[in-house]
Amino acid sequence: MSHYKKYLKLAFLPLLLLHGQIIMAQRAEELVRIYVQKYRNHITDGETLRKIMELPTRQVIDAFVPYTADSLAEVRVIGYNGIYKAGIEAAEGTDRIKAVSLLIQALSDNDHGIAGQAVGYLTEFRKNDFSAESRYLLSQLAKGHPPYLHKIIRLTGYLGIDELIYNFNQMMNDEKYRSREKMAMQLAMGRMGDSASVNDIMVRVSKMPVNDEVVNNVYPDLAYMRQKQAFDFLFNKIMSDSKDCRSSNPDNEQPIICAFRIMEIVAPYVEGFPVKTDRWGELMITDYDKTLAEVRKWIAQNKNNYTLNNEIY
């Protein structure tokens, strides 16, 4: 009799699990429906969203999917945002892969704002969250002319889709692509280890004057490439005492060294770097003089032996 009971228990276990999944799916669908309906009425319901995100990731993603096909762009935004929030917090690889594949669909949305938002979301995912199909779709988009092409190109560079190097070299000579897009192609090729692209970029940057505009807009591109040649250059700028930047106080602008801004640029990508940045990208320091001395000492000791994190965008 005990064997029979054990058999029944094992036989019904899959049904119980399926029943639990159905209940969770229904719960997710209902909460998402309520959340979206309130949004349609211009009500932001953070409490309902919190409850949604406590449910199993796959059910949450599936519950948001129908809203990505809504006729209203503002509702599609909510659909994709929900998929992003659930996917980026997921521990399970299959859920993250599912979220990425859906966000790639958003790159072809008729609303360019949604496409731009989706590119930003995708840069936060890990490389292994992109399936072979997702990588293929991105490579096809990068060879076309979709909205935010320059950002899609940089995403392919991060993912290391190196078969695009040939295409990018050809596209660089095509007049239909703008300078921003061509720059993205060269940066992406540099990220993928194309030495000619890295060398060309470094030659051009080394000729630029050091000032706020260059530090804020050009040096982050060097960090994106994730190449030692670029970081050697940035480390040298951190070592400089030349006051080429301006203080951020508009009422009392003063010439200052650029080292701290450059530290913010390199810190997230250098393993063992002695200073970190917070979620907003700002340095987590209190004693500036002490930190500057520590960072310069670290650079002097490790300039020939440091490791770059290429696994994040």
- Rounded to whole angstroms, the Cα distance separating 101 from 105 reads 7
Average the pLDDT over each of 7-11, 44-48, 205-209, 268-272 and give the range with the smallest value: 7-11
Q: What is the pLDDT of residue 16?
A: 46
User: 3-state secondary structure string, 129-154?
Assistant: HCCHHHHHHHHHHHCCCCCCHHHHHH
**Residue 93 host element (H or E):** helix 93-106
**Residue 246 host element (H or E):** strand 245-246
Cα–Cα distances in angstroms (integers) from residue 249 to residues 23, 102, 256, 263, 308, in the given order:
56, 43, 11, 19, 33
Residue whose C-alpha is closest to residue 188's, from 242, 136, 149: 149
DSSP bridge partners of 245 = 256
The overall longest dimension of the chain from CA atoms, in Å, is 87
The residue with greater pLDDT, 293 or 253, is: 293
Give the confidence band of 8 by pLDDT, cuts at 50, 70, 90: low
Average the pLDDT over each of 15-29, 126-140, 178-192, 200-214 and give the range with the smallest value: 15-29
pTM, two decimals, is: 0.90
Average pLDDT of span 250-263: 92
Amino acid at site 42: H
Would the pLDDT of 5 be above 70?
no
Q: Any idea where the domains of the chain sit in the sequence?
A: 21-126, 131-192, 207-302
The number of residues in the chain equals 313
How confident is the prediction for the chain on average, in pLDDT? 93
Give the confidence band of 250 by pLDDT, cuts at 50, 70, 90: confident
Give the confidence band of 32 by pLDDT, cuts at 50, 70, 90: very high
Average pLDDT of span 228-240: 98
Average pLDDT of span 43-58: 94
Give the confidence band of 6 by pLDDT, cuts at 50, 70, 90: low
Q: What is the pLDDT of residue 253?
A: 86
Would the pLDDT of 20 be above 60?
no
- Rounded to whole angstroms, the Cα distance separating 121 from 84 reads 7
Would the pLDDT of 215 be above 90?
yes
Would the pLDDT of 154 be above 50?
yes
Would the pLDDT of 19 be above 60?
no
pLDDT tens digit sequence for 80-91: 999 999 999 998
Give the confidence band of 51 by pLDDT, cuts at 50, 70, 90: very high
The residue with greater pLDDT, 212 or 2, is: 212
Would the pLDDT of 18 be above 60?
no
Q: What is the pLDDT of residue 4?
A: 56
